[in-house]
Amino acid sequence: MKKRLLSLLLASTMVLSLAACNKSDEGGQGTANAGGDAATELVDGKFAETRTITVEVYDRGNDGGSDPTNNMYTKYIHDQMLDKYNVEVEFVKVPRWTEVDEINNLLAGQTAPDVCVTYSYATIQTYADMGGVLDLSSYVEDYKDVLPNLWNWLGETNIYWDKDPETGSIWALEARLANQNRICTFIRKDWLEALNLEEPTTKEEFYNVLCQFRDNADKLLGGEADKMVPYSVSYDVGWRAATLIESFMDPAITEKEYYVNGFDDRKITEAGAKDAIKLLNQWYNEGLMWDDFAVYGSGDTTEDDMMKAGYVGAFTHNWDYPYRNGEDSIEANLKRLVGEDASYVAIDPFEDSNGTHTKWIAGPIDRKIFFPVTNDEPLASLLYLDFISSPETIQYLQIGDEGVTHTVADNGAIQIQAATGDAIQNSGMNIDYTITCNGLHLVDPEITELSLAYSYAGVDPDLILKANEIAKTDTRELGNVQVGAIESEAGFGEALSSKRDQVYDKALSASTADFDKVWDEGMQDYLASGGQTIIDERLAAWEKTYGDAENLPEK
């Protein structure tokens, strides 16, 4: 009896697994057909039969936000797409702060949306190596005629950005960064005034201000003095102290060196990172920083809450961070909880060895858009990208309806106002829907300029102008290094990023005596875990493509 049952079980296992395999075979063959002729599929620019595509959208989980898959803007997109191309658009939400994990899971489960978006090119490359991503090179060429807006907006620069120099494949289209501002340091203006201090312009002055904050905690925070954090970073030190780290790099660094050590966008392998963290370590041990920064992980709002409650003296973040999110912005909360005078103002205190304030920006690229092989509507998906790249669509998604989400000032500037219900933008200027565009981009460029300062509901335009000016001071960007895929990078992005955070966090919070040991051991571990292999391969790839050149050829 027992034996028979067992054999029955084994037999059915075999049958089932074979069936499963056959099924995945079919999937493999179904993806082989490359770009066809748009004219044969479209009648008067429209599909004859309704096509359905799914599109990824970030879910930011904002308090009191609108449903990211069903609101005024998704309805607009949906109706326009149906009307224009007879394409039915469905949105699939993916949590913003764990997007890479989530997209990985969806791709692995072959349930990823037809149009996927991520900030991590490494993820796309890895999946492309496994045959999981559509090569867009032939599609964008063949369908060029029906994609005027996409070509206009992204241009050859962004469309060909990720083109492999050898195979010519394009796994992803790079969204365009309309505003390349990256990062700023902010300080409590009211605290400076209360203590009669000037805005710091050098590291030395910044340090002195932090000490003043610490020493006057009683005056500034009263009964809550023990909650004072003069300068705050999160577990992601490389990002949250980016301008400080960059100020320790050699301003004359060559593009070659920057690229070779540049796998990690938090610059841990660039020369200078250690000195920067050493300074932060000193500050940490002098009680100038947040003790508990490392125990709160990604997406945790504790630090933001501390800023909102008014405990944080200064911090470094996205160039407009305290002003984002309208009523829920750090600035708005601060004013509500602490008082009308309380405010964060942008400063530029980290000078480099030239006395300039070099800020590395990331080129005109932003998110990466790709189609998984499970996408069997490449044309409809590209038409979607074309639609979302048209100036009118971008403008509508960014500013919405007059009277509902914005008002027009006398000088023509668009003023964003706090919206309610369905019209709430979950992300600043609806960046989550304008996936080919990051940054305000209205049909009229002059109005764009004017409106930028007014695009933050309830925030003094002068604050924005100042942050904008600082973010644009002494910027430098690495050109497009096209040396093909670096094989050793595949699969290691996530693990190395996490390792990097560990090195940064441990070194920052080490005791002063242990700092060198902790940093050196950490770096050794980082390099041994794959970092060195990547550096070596990048060096070889650079030399193979550009020879002895220290910088990219002029275009």
Q: Which residues bind another protein (CB under 8 A)?
A: 4, 9, 12-13, 16-17, 20-22, 24-25, 27-28, 31, 100-101, 104-105, 107-108, 123, 126-127, 130-132, 235, 291-292, 294-297, 373, 490-495, 498-499, 501-502, 504-506, 509, 525, 528-529
Considering the complex, state which of residue 19 and residue 252 has its C-beta at the smaller distance from another protein: 19
The CA-based diameter of the chain, rounded to the nearest angstrom, is 90
- Which of 108, 443 has the CB closer to another protein? 108
CB of 18 to another protein, least distance (A): 9
Measured from the CB atom, the residue of 243 and 374 that comes closer to another protein is 374
Shortest Cβ distance from residue 373 to another protein (Å)?
6
Give whichever of 208 and 532 is closer to another protein, judged by the CB atom.
532
Least gap, CB of 334 to another protein (angstroms): 20
Helix (H, G, I), strand (E, B) or coil at 148: helix
Closer residue to another protein (CB): 295 or 409: 295
Q: Least distance to another protein from the beta carbon of 541, Å?
A: 21
Report the first-to-last Cα separation within the chain, whole angstroms: 78
Identity of the residue, 100 or 418, whose beta carbon is nearer to another protein in the bound complex: 100
> What six digits make up the tokens of 285?
């041990």
Looking at beta carbons only, is 471 or 503 nearer to another protein? 503
Shortest Cβ distance from residue 530 to another protein (Å)? 8
Closer residue to another protein (CB): 88 or 494: 494
Nearest to 146 by CA among 49, 52, 48, 45: 45
SS3 of residue 434 by DSSP: coil
Q: Which is nearer to another protein, 107 or 467 (by Cβ)?
A: 107
Q: Which is nearer to another protein, 127 or 319 (CB)?
A: 127
Query: Which residue, among 132, 175, 163, has the nearest Cα to 368 in the 3D structure?
Result: 175
Query: Residue 25 CB, nearest distance to another protein (Å)?
Result: 5
DSSP letters along 253-277, please? --HHHHHHT-SSTT-TTSTTHHHHH
Query: What contacts 452, CB < 8 A, 6 or more positions away?
Result: 179, 440, 464, 468
| Minimum gap (Å) between residue 538 Cβ and another protein | 19
SS3 content of the chain, % helix, strand, coil (to 5): 50, 15, 35
- Least Å distance between CB 273 and another protein? 16
Minimum CB distance to another protein, residue 27 (Å): 6
Cβ neighbour number for residue 491 with a 10 Å cutoff? 16
Nearer to another protein, 16 or 465 (CB): 16
Token representation of residue 424: 């709430």
Distance CA 198, CA 489 (A): 45
In the bound state with another protein, the residue whose beta carbon lies nearer, of 13 and 420, is: 13
- For residue 428, the 8-state DSSP code is G
Residues linked to residue 449 through DSSP beta bridges, in sequence order: none
Beta strands at 229-232 and 312-318: parallel, antiparallel or unpaired: parallel
- β-pairing, 406-408 with 87-95? unpaired
Whole-number Å distance between alpha carbons of 239 and 271: 16
Closest CB 354 distance from another protein, rounded Å: 33
The answer to whether the CB of 87 falls within 8 A of the CB of 383 is: yes
Which residues contact residue 144 at a Cβ distance below 8 angstroms, ignoring those fewer than 6 apart?
Answer: 151
Rank residues 344 and 492 by Cβ distance to another protein and give the closer one.
492
Q: How far is the CB of 95 from another protein (least distance, A)?
A: 14
- Do 369 and 435 meet the contact criterion of CB atoms below 8 Å apart? yes
The distance of closest approach from Cβ of residue 426 to another protein in the complex, given in angstroms and rounded to an integer, is: 24
SS (H, E, C) 281-335: HHHHHCCCECCCHHHCCCCCCHHHHHHHHCCEEEEEEECCHHHCCHHHCHHHHHH
Distance of CA 156 to the CA centre of its chain: 22
Output DSSP code: residue 369.
E
Please identify, using beta-carbon distances, which residue of 459 and 518 lies nearer to another protein.
518
Measured CA to CA, the distance from residue 477 to residue 480 in angstroms comes to: 9
Task: Please report how the helices 72-85 and 391-399 are oriented relative to each other, as an axis angle in degrees rounded to 10.
Answer: 160
Least distance in angstroms from the C-beta of 151 to another protein? 29
Least Å distance between CB 227 and another protein?
A: 8
Place of tokens 């494949």: 169
Per-residue three-class SS string for 83-121: HHHCEEEEEEEEEHHHHHHHHHHHHHCCCCCCEEEECCH
Q: Which residue in 445, 53, 503, 438 sits closest to 235, CA to CA?
A: 503
- Dihedral of CA atoms 35, 41, 45, 49 in degrees, nearest 10, equals -130
